[in-house]
Structure formats: C-alpha cells, structure tokens
Amino acid sequence: MRSSRNPGFDVRSWRDNTARPLAVAARLARELAAAERLPILAASVGDGERWHAETILKTVPVCGTRDGTRERVPARVDLRLDPEAQSLAAGETVWSDLAVEREDFVRYVAWLRSVW
C-alpha cells in the first residue's frame, strides 16, 4: 500500500499490528503530510506533531490504560491531551500510555489525504 504521492511511505512497514505510541503516530503523520505536501499542512502550523496528536484523538480511536486496564477510547472532541501526549482526560476519566493501532493509523492517513 505505497502512496503514489510518496513512494517512500509504506504502511506495511508497520507489519506487526502492535500499537505505536500516540506521539510516534503523530510524528509519522506529520512526516507523511510534509512528504506528500498535503493541503492539511496549512492547518498544522506551529507544533505539527501536537496538532496531529489532537486530531488523531478526534478522528480515530486510540488505546489507553485506565485503572490498570487497557481499553479502546473512541474518537471524540471532548478529550484533553496532556502536553507530552502521554495521557488524556474526559471529565474525571484519565487514560495513560496512549497508543494508536495500525488499522486506525491507516484510517487517519486516509482522512488526511481526503481533506481540503
């Protein structure tokens, strides 16, 4: 599944389906958007990785640990991300060790390519 706009990006290199930390997924998304010169880059000025981390949370589910249990957190707009992109909160609920599954990252990349 190589991108025609960025022949160097191959999502199959993420072969093992192991979730990647949210901060890593955000960095990969920023690098991909820059390499493909996607129009969405105009929206992600400043700290692009932070923008992508927050946008991932609003676009696809992420995994997080709450009270020692790993759970899938649905995408939603009311999540608050800490400055290091390591935990997020919704009201009194807090998840840590945030990660993005490969299939959700692929969906996020498809969304990036579809906007604007």
What are the CA-CA distances from residue 95 to residues 2, 18, 101 (Å)?
33, 18, 16
Residue 60: predicted pLDDT: 96
What is the C-alpha separation between 109 and 25, in angstroms, rounded?
10
pTM for the whole structure: 0.81
The domain limits of the chain are 11-114
Q: Give the alpha-carbon dihedral of 48, 50, 51, 56, to 10 degrees.
A: 120
Q: Where are the beta strands (DSSP E) in 1-116?
A: 20-21, 62-66, 69-73, 80-81, 87-90, 93-100
Residue pointed to by tokens 């192991």: 18
Q: Is the pLDDT of residue 97 over 80?
A: yes
29-74: pLDDT as tens digits: 988 888 888 888 777 666 778 889 999 999 999 999 999 999 999 9
